[in-house]
Each structure stands twice: as C-alpha cells, then as structure tokens.
Chains A and B, each alone.
Chain A
C-alpha cells in the first residue's frame, strides 16, 4: 500500500499534468460508478418545473421539461464512460489483432486487408459515424458499434507498423526457427510486445470516443433523446440559450473536463511508455 502510494507520489512529481488528468478521470469514474447514489433524482424523472435556474434545491437548474440537470450530468458520466470505454476496447482490440495478424502473415492477405483499412480511413470520421448511425438506428449499443468501426482501422494501421518491425526481431526469428506455430508466435511474442502501444491507444482514444458520442447525440443521431447523454443535453440547451444558459453550460463543462483529463492522462501514459522519454518510475 505504502509502495503504491509512493509510486503515485513519484508519478505526480514527474507528470504533474498527468496527475491532474488522473484526478479528473478518477472523479469521472467515481461519478459514473456511484451515479445512482450521487444523483438526487432519476435522470428521466420530469417531475419539476421547467427552466428553474440553479438553486439550493437544483444546483444546476432544471431543463426544458423539468428534469434535474445535475442528475442528468451525473448519469451522463456513466453513459459517456460506458460508450467511451466499450467502443475503444472493442475498436482498438479489433484493430490490434487485425494489424498484428496482417503484419505477421504478410503477402497478399496483408495487402488486401490494408486496402480495406485505406478505404475506411479515407472517409471523414464524423461523416462515417453519421452514416453508420443513420443506417443502424439510434441506440447506445449502435453508437458503440459505429465507434468501433471508426476506431478499428486507425488502431490496425498503427499497430501493424509496430508489428512489422517486431516480426523481424531475432527472438521472433528464433521462435520460428525452433518450429513454433504461427499462432503461438503471434500470441506469445508479437502481441505482448505491442501491448504498451495498445494501452496508449486505448487511453488516448477514450476521450475521442466520448467527443464523437457527444457529437452524434448533439446532431440527434447518437443515444436516444431521453438518455442522459451530454451531447443530447447540449442540443436541448441550444434551444434555450438565452433563458436557460445552465442547460448547455454544465454538460459542456462536463465534456470539456472529461476530455481534458483523459488527454492529460493519455499524454502522461504515452510519455511513460515511450522508450525515448521513459525514465521509469523507480
């Protein structure tokens, strides 16, 4: 325990901005996990007067149909984190496996699979996401699916380039020379050596996924409108910017702080895992 604490202390000393990011991310995770306990009201409970300004009873005011904005912002953390983590884990993992296997197998299979990646990367991400959502229909799980499709090619391309150099490493050649089957070389030698980059990609892309989810919801193609999505709350806020500015300010602030925190943490993790910058924590 003491060791862990001192490790965190050293992390904070070496990466002060990363520590700020970590704190923000921890707050986000805690808020998401404890949403049912923290939120004073249900996120869909429209039991109050509309457009009430912030007060002791409603610290962030109420929205256009009389829901507590604080409760929706708190529940929104859960939705954002769920969508962000799930899509990134699925998308980056899929891209990881795709890139590594493609690089290791090489030849025509690699060329063909990378043309598919090229095709997917050629499409502007938000246009691709909008098209997918229009085709799939509005639901939280479809947002995750659309984001997975969005994230997979980038992750695949990044991790493939790393796997190409690992494939030529002496230890991989040695494994092949002693007759290791292909799947075993990939599973035991190539994948573990790309894991650090995989983790960085996961960390960096969570904020991207959260922003895309908010953007899709803002455009009316993300989570269903009654779900407490920060993006959808922003849209509702734009309908009443003059009379009820709290409706867009607080979800906007939540998105900003979350993305800020995740980016700071992601940068710190990247610095710590980059061999050129890495000094270790020890």
Chain B
C-alpha cells in the first residue's frame, strides 16, 4: 500500500496537486458536458445564504448565486470581479464604488441591476436581521450602501477597514434578486433560489439530493463547462466513505475531512483519485453557555479550559491532523498568529497536564464540593460524537460528570442559536475569509455570528475593532497578538481546541478545480470540467 502524505508535507502536497491539475488543465482543452458529483454532510433544511451559517447551506446554493467580487477560482489568494466588473476606492479608504456588469439576467429572466445589490446588502446589514456570516462581518464596518445609478453601487464605511474587500468577496455575501426577496420574504425555499450564478437550482429532495443544472445565460461567456452538479446528502462517515469507494462522488474537499484510516481505506479501493492532506481554515471549539449556570461562572469556564487535553484530542479524534491550542493558525494567517512555542506553554495547553488538572479540580471543588453534573450537547455529524466522548472523559478527571445529549445537525444549530445548551462538546467553525479578523467576527466578538455562548468581553470588542481600523500591518499584528493573549488569559465561552486538518480526494477526471483558502469558497464549480 502506498503511504499517505505526512502531516508536514500536507499543504505543500495540496499545492503540488493543484499545480499539477492546473498544468494538466492548461495543456488540455476543457471539455463541455458531464455532471459533477460530491456530497453535503447533512441536510441544509433552510437555504437562505444571508441568514444561515452551516456549510451545507453554502454548498447547496454556492453555484446559484454570484457576489460582487469573489476569490479567484484560478488563484484563490486573489480577489477578482464577479458581478462588479471593477471597483474604485476613495483616497481616505472609506468609500468603495462598484461598477456592475451590464446585461446580466437572473435565472428567471429578469434583468439584474444596482437595486438588487442595494436590496441584498440592506437586508444583510439591517440591525434587526440576524445574518451570522456576511452580516456579522460587514455590520461593524459598513455605514450604508447606495445605488448611485443602474449599474453603480457605493459602500460607505464607518472607517477605513483593511478586511472590507475580503469580506465582500466571501461566499456568504451573495447578491439576491430584489423581486425574489419581495415575493418570498426570505431565501429559504427552493423556489426562491433565483440567482445569476453559473448554475440554476434544479432539485432539492430533502435528506437525499440537491441538484443544479447549467445556466446557459451565465454572464461569463463559455462557462460553466459542466451540465450540472449533483450533491448527495450523505450523513455519517461510513456512508460518505462508501460513496467515495464506490466512485459515486468525484470530489471530497469540504468538511468533514477524512480521517487517516478512512483515507487509507479509500486509497486501497481506488487508484483513480488523488488523496491529499490539507487544512480547511476551520477551528475545533468547545462552547459553554456564559449566560446560564454553571458556566456563567468564569471559574468553571476556566476549569473546563484547563481540563481539556488538546493534544490528546488531536491525536485521537483528528488522528494527529490538527494544530492544537492555537487561536490563530500560523499556517493560515502567518505571523498574525501568536508563535506556537508561546501558545503551547500556556495553561490549558502545556504538557504534562498535572498542574492544570489540579488547578481545574480546585476550581470545581470551590463551587461544587461534591462535583458538578451537566448535560453536554453534540451534533451527530462528522466525528463530533467521538470527540465529545473524549471531552467527557477528560472533564470527569476534574469532577465534572456529564451526560451526552445528541442532536441532528439542523436541530443542533437551532438549539445552539437560541442558547439552549449548557456545554457543546465539539463544534467546528470555519473562517469566512483568510483574514485573521474572521476569527473574531465569527466567534469572539459580542455580535459574532457563532458566539453561541453569548460571551461578551468589552476589551475583546475594543481590540478587534482597533485591529479592523488599523491600516499598518505591523500594528495590526501587535493588536491581534494582544487580543490572543487576552483571550488565553481570560475565561472565554468558546475554548479553542485545535485547527482542523484532514484528508481529501479529487477524482483525476475532475479538472479546473482549486481548493480555496476557506472551506466555503470556490464551491461554484464555474470553471470545473470533466475529463473524458
């Protein structure tokens, strides 16, 4: 059996595969036709890309919509036009003017205009509208959006924000049709999936299948190459792996990653796929509800953080594929992340665990002399249940006895969103953009989209805002270091366990596909084609 690539060569190998694929794609002429198959880890249920946050919602609708701008499908580190053919920035960096493409049509034949962009962003930025992804990222920085002509839109910012363009390019900031929003009120149903993207929304069979078909009027001439995309809704590792082994899916490049044992099994079963290890810009967290007892008490939140053995969780639950402890992963954001040598000496992360366990036990005993009984929530997706069982075993060592309550994916999100939990043992959160700012707008700021624990620390909000406003890269770095040290020293409701890595595969006949810098981007498949 061929050995799988090592952890250290992970990203390098992913790049090699991408380059090889790119090279091969450059040599071969793209072929039209065929249907790409891949999978969603669960049923999205609701399809409103502005209002929801699960990856499966993004996957289900990605190719249907376009954004103003996007991360380049050919070079995911670059931002390139999408519905906006160009944009200008005012000298003070506070006004962005987007010039829109002309002649673009919605999938129902209606013409696209600046009014649609304004309607979409007004909706996303409405303070009364909960938009956990695009809204959470843009609300702190955008003051207003105006259509200053049928094909021109202007964003006025509250301050010059370096991550603004990156956030607008995020695959969560999609432009929806004004007439559709007026007709349906939201974008939850299949009927409301009217976009300008390369594919039309064709079919949604609950719990089974989501299908797109080629948009023959796509505004980029000659694209897409595929006749359609079929996403099977496959819940559970064995089903996903069986589909991969049987050749039923051509691509596995989204959460949950395969584990090493699964990758080895797939490698034995199929010789026509490239298997690679990569990061997916996703952090594994444990959440506590800071608004309810017992974790309204910072001592007990601290005890949980100290009790967690992140190295064991990475070694066992992620089979070694992950970066334990870090709040920001140096592989993904470079020197914005605190050096790992510093992080690994911090309480909660340092090894051996004896001192941390003793202190955690003392903290629990101080408030609950006979130990603490809690209910722990977990969604039954990916390998969360395995991770949760490990967390429970670790908490027992410091006198926290927990019973496990499992949720189906969408039901879990609904409960977490309402704050209806005590502790979530395992929950991955993917970053919306590659910018370090994303971690705070997604998880740690008071208004963060995935601040399930409803934790609020004025200093975190202040530092995050200062970092957003700071134009100097060096000063931003210092601010993010201060922010990370402050969170590590405190008792946050979201405890960072590890940055998740894992194994993925691409069928060798899938061409023109590049893994993106986040798990959400480049899922439109606009340039993907299938080799004969």
Contacts and interface: CB of A to CB of B under 8 A. Distances in A.
Contact of A238 (B238, B261, B385): B238
Interface string A26-57: 00000000000000000011110011000000
A113 interface: no
A240 interface: yes
Interface string B368-392: 0000000000101000011011101
Given A44-B392, A138-B404, 4 more contacts: A46-B389, A225-B404, A243-B265, A244-B261
A220 B379 CA distance: 11
Given A44-B396, A225-B388, A242-B265, A66 B406 contact: no
B265 A64 contact: no
A46 B315 CA distance: 12
B404 A224 contact: yes
Contacts of B389: 44, 46, 65, 225-226
Contacts of B380: 220
B526 interface: no
B317 interface: yes
A45 B378 CA distance: 19
Interface string B284-328: 000000000000000000000000000000001101000000000
A45 B405 contact: no
A46 B264 CA distance: 24
Interface of A: 44-47, 50-51, 64-66, 137-139, 220, 224-226, 236, 238-244
B419 interface: no
Contacts, number: 56
Interface of B: 237-238, 261, 264-265, 268, 316-317, 319, 378, 380, 385-386, 388-390, 392-393, 396, 403-406
Contact of B385 (A137, A225, A244): A225
Nearest to B385: A225
Contact of A50 (B264, B265, B316): B316
B405 A138 contact: yes
Chain A contact residues, majority secondary structure:
loop
A64 B238 contact: no
Contacts of A220: 380, 406
Given A66-B316, A239-B238, A46 B406 contact: no
Chain B contact residues, majority secondary structure:
helix
B380 to A, nearest CB: 6
Given A65-B317, A65-B389, A239-B238, A224 B264 contact: no
A138 B406 CA distance: 7
Given A46-B393, A50-B316, A243-B261, A224 B405 contact: yes
B382 to A, nearest CB: 11
A47 B397 CA distance: 11
Contacts of B268: 242
Nearest to A140: B403
A242 to B, nearest CB: 5
A236 B390 CA distance: 14
Nearest to A225: B385
B378 to A, nearest CB: 8
A64 B264 CA distance: 15
A240 B404 contact: no
A233 to B, nearest CB: 12
A255 B241 CA distance: 26
A46 B405 contact: no
B355 to A, nearest CB: 19
Q: Ordered nearest first, which 4 A-B pairs have the shortest CB separation?
A: A46-B393, A224-B404, A226-B389, A243-B261
Given A44-B392, A46-B316, A46-B393, A64 B406 contact: no
Contacts of B385: 225
Nearest to A138: B406
A220 B238 CA distance: 14
